């Protein structure tokens, strides 16, 4: 998958760790807007990795609206 989009989320697996489990990453422009500076940020951490360090498995479709139910319902 070569059509990464800044700010979007993807399922990815580390290329550097044998038996790595898929994780959610976000394409980050924290180090610059040009594609050569993009990194993959691991969601829930402060870790940024080079894009080549991960195998991108699939894009995660954005959710426009998440229905919320109140606990009393």
What's the CA angle centered on 5, arms 29 and 65, to 5 degrees?
105
Give the per-residue pLDDT at 70: 67
What's the CA angle centered on 59, arms 36 and 12, to 5 degrees?
70
What's the CA angle centered on 26, arms 22 and 31, to 5 degrees?
130
**Structure-block tokens of residue 68:** 């919320």
Q: Where are the domains of the chain?
A: 9-59
pLDDT values of the chain reduced to their tens digit, one per residue, 73 residues: 468 999 999 999 998 888 889 999 999 999 999 999 999 999 999 999 999 999 999 999 877 766 666 666 5
> CA-to-CA distance for 39 and 26, rounded, in angstroms?
8
């Amino acid at each position: 998958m070569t059509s990464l989009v800044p700010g979007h989320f993807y399922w990815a697996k580390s290329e550097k760790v044998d038996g790595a489990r898929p994780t959610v990453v976000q394409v980050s422009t924290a180090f610059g807007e040009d594609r050569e500076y993009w990194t993959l940020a691991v969601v829930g951490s402060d870790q940024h990795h080079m894009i080549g360090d991960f195998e991108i498995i699939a894009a995660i479709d954005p959710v426009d609206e998440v229905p919320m139910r109140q606990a009393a319902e």
